Structure 1
C-alpha cells in the first residue's frame, strides 16, 4: 500500500472517530450506575464489621449481606460472609476501583485481612441518553421486529429492545430518552446508543 493511501486511510479513520465522539456527546450519554463484584477475603465476620463500621446495616433475618454506604466517591456495598463484595451506585469504573480499595483499607484497619489486588468484575453498567427527538414507538416496534422487542404500553411506557452485539438492553421512550443496561463497559453503552440511532435513522424514524 502506498504512503499516500495510508495517509488517506488515517484521515478517514480520524474523521470517523471524531464523528463517533461527536455523536456520543451529542446524545448526552451518561453513566448512571456501575455494579461490580469482587472477593476481598476468604470469609467475613459481618457482626464484627457492623459493630466497627458506623452506619453499617446487617439483619440476617431480612438479608444475608451487610449493607454499607460511602460518600466519597458515592457508592454502596453489599458484603457477604463468603468474602464476596458487591459495589453499586458508582458513576464510573474508576470510582469502583477507588471505593473497593478504600473498603479494603478500612477492613484492614479493624484487623480483617483482605486479598491483595483482588479481581474486580463489572457486572452491569446502566447509562442514560437522549436522542433529542419525539419517537413513534408503535412504528419502531414494527420496524425493529417483534421478535427483538417488548412493547406493552399498558404495562410499561417504554419499548424494550434487546441488542445482540453489544449484548445490552435499551429502553426506548417516546420522549427520545434511552436507558441502556447490561453493558460490561462504557463502550458497550455508547455502542448500544449508536445501534439504536442507526436503526431509527435507517427506518426514517429519527
Structure 2
C-alpha cells in the first residue's frame, strides 16, 4: 500500500510581503502590461505570472499577496518577478523584501474509504465539525501541527493552514495515528 505521505501534493501557497510605500494602482495598471485593475470589483491590482504560475494581488498600501503558487520556491520566484516589474516602473523596492508564508493547502490520500460517522464519534466533538447535510467532509482541527484537515469518505484529505510543507506530513502522521488507535483505519502504514 502506498504511504499516504507519498501522496501529499501542494495545491496552493499563499504568502504576503510589502514594498513599504503606497502605490497609485491606476498608474501602475496602465504601465504594467498584463495587470488587471477594476477597483469596483476588487480593491487590488492583479498581476499574473506564467512561469511559475501565480497571481500577485497588489494593494494601494504597498502590501502584496501572492496566491496560486505550487511551492514556497515558486512564491519567492513569482514575487521576485513582481518586484522587478515594479522596479522597471521606477518604483523603489528593497533588494530582499520579507516574504511570509500565510497558508499552504495540500491534498493527500489515505488509500481507503473512511467511515466519517465513526471518526466523528471517535475523535470527539471538541476538534471536529461534521454535518454531512451541509458539507460531505469532516473538519478536523489539529493542535499540533496547527492545521485544519478535511477528511472525505473516499479517504482523500485536504490540509490547510500549514506554514511549511512539513506541516502536511506531520498532520497525515497524526491523522493515521489517531484513526489507527481508534481501529478506524485498515491500512498498515
Does the TM-score normalized on the shorter chain lie above 0.5?
yes
TM-score with structure 1 setting the length? 0.86
2:5 aligned partner: 24
Contact between 2:4 and 2:110, CA under 8 Å: does it hold in 1? no
1:75 aligned partner: 54
Q: Which has the higher contact order (CA 8 A, sep 6+)?
A: 2
Contact between 1:39 and 1:115, CA under 8 Å: does it hold in 2? no
Name structure 2 gaps, 5 residues minimum.
Answer: none
Select which of 94, 107, 112 maps to 1:128.
107
Whole-angstrom CA distance in 2 between matches of 1:192 and 1:126 = 12
Whole-angstrom CA distance in 2 between matches of 1:38 and 1:153 = 38
Contact between 1:41 and 1:113, CA under 8 Å: does it hold in 2? no
SS in 2 for 1:178: strand
Q: Does 1:38 align with 2:17?
A: yes
Select which of 92, 102, 122 maps to 2:71.
92
Select which of 31, 41, 44 maps to 1:62.
41
* Alignment length (residue pairs): 183
Question: What's the CA shift for 1:41?
Answer: 3.7
SS in 2 for 1:76: strand
Q: Which stretch of structure 1 is more off in the superposition, 180-189 or 107-116?
A: 107-116
Question: What's the CA shift for 1:116?
Answer: 2.2
2:88 aligned partner: 109
Q: Does 1:202 align with 2:149?
A: no
2:145 aligned partner: 166
For the aligned residues, what is the CA RMSD? 1.1
Higher helix share: 1
Question: What's the CA shift for 1:184?
Answer: 0.5
Question: What's the CA shift for 1:40?
Answer: 2.1
Question: What's the CA shift for 1:203?
Answer: 1.0
User: Larger Cα Rg: Structure 1 or Structure 2?
Assistant: 1
Runs of 4+ with >4 A deviation = none
Name structure 1 gaps, 5 residues minimum.
Answer: 1-21
Q: Does 1:149 align with 2:128?
A: yes
- Shift in alpha-carbon separation, 1:23–1:134, aligned structure 2, 3 A: closer
